[in-house]
């Protein structure tokens, strides 16, 4: 894997941390993986109606990190539409970088980064 992509992933994670941008994920395993990377403002979708989640967000910007599979893509597009109607900006820089990797499940992100860093060492 390209070391440059791993560095960019880590940069984007750091920006999300520093700017305290909420990150929306599908489930608790996704949340756990992101917490291991130092993120703390994480919102889990599982079991919540999308409209209620969107209405509860009181931020001008959010990151949506649904999985990169078909279901995750569908959720992402629905959330993107709902948030844009409410004037909430979607920060999708990290998500777009993930498409350049082989990773498709957010719950594996922390292990993926650690493995790629070991290979590069």
Q: Which residues contact 97 (CB under 8 A, 6 or more apart)?
A: 5, 8, 9, 12
Is the Cα dihedral 108, 92, 40, 66 positive or negative? negative
Q: Is 110 exposed, middle or buried (0-12, 13-18, 19+ CB in 10 A)?
A: middle
Return the DSSP state at 79: H
Q: What is the pLDDT of residue 120?
A: 78
- Pull the structure tokens for residue 83: 């948030």
The vertex-50 CA angle with 95 and 16, nearest 5°, equals 35
Per-residue pLDDT tens digits for 14-67: 999 999 999 999 999 999 999 999 999 999 998 889 989 999 999 999 999 999
Tokens 């999300």 sit on residue = 16
Average pLDDT in the chain: 93
């Amino acid at each position: 894997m390209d070391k440059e992509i791993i560095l960019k992933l880590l940069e984007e994670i750091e920006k999300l941390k520093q700017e305290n941008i909420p990150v929306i994920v599908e489930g608790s395993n996704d949340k756990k993986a992101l917490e291991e990377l130092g993120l703390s403002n994480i919102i889990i979708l599982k079991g919540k109606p999308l409209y209620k989640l969107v209405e509860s967000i009181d931020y001008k910007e959010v990151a949506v990190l649904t999985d990169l599979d078909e279901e995750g893509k569908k959720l992402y597009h629905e959330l993107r539409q709902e948030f844009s109607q409410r004037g909430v900006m979607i920060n999708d820089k990290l998500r777009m970088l993930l498409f350049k990797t082989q990773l498709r499940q957010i719950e594996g992100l922390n292990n993926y980064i650690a493995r790629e860093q070991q290979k590069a060492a």
